[in-house]
Amino acid sequence: MPPDRDEFATKADLAGLEARIDARLEALEGRMYRALWIQGGAIVAILTALRFLPI
């Protein structure tokens, strides 16, 4: 039995999906950069603290 025409995606459906995916990827990229800066700051803080510890 052939599929109903209501089950096919239109160009507008695909454009909307693309826009939602792009927005989610931008949000993910922002969170990844934030995590990278936090990790870098933590590494600098740890190395700085180790420098001043008496060994």
Structural domain total, the chain: 1
Q: What percent of the chain has pLDDT over 90?
A: 76
Mean pLDDT, rounded, for 29-47: 97
How much is the pTM? 0.66
Task: State which residues form the domain around 55.
Answer: 30-55
The pLDDT score that the predictor gives to residue 7 is 83
Q: 54: pLDDT confidence band, cut at 50, 70 and 90?
A: confident
Q: What percent of the chain has pLDDT over 70?
A: 93
Mean pLDDT, rounded, for 28-43: 98
Residue 39 lies in a domain: yes
d(CA 32, CA 38): 10
Residue 5 lies in a domain: no
Residue 47 lies in a domain: yes
The set of residues, in sequence order, having a beta carbon less than 8 Å from that of 17 and lying 6+ positions away, is 9
Round the average pLDDT of the chain to a whole number and report it. 92
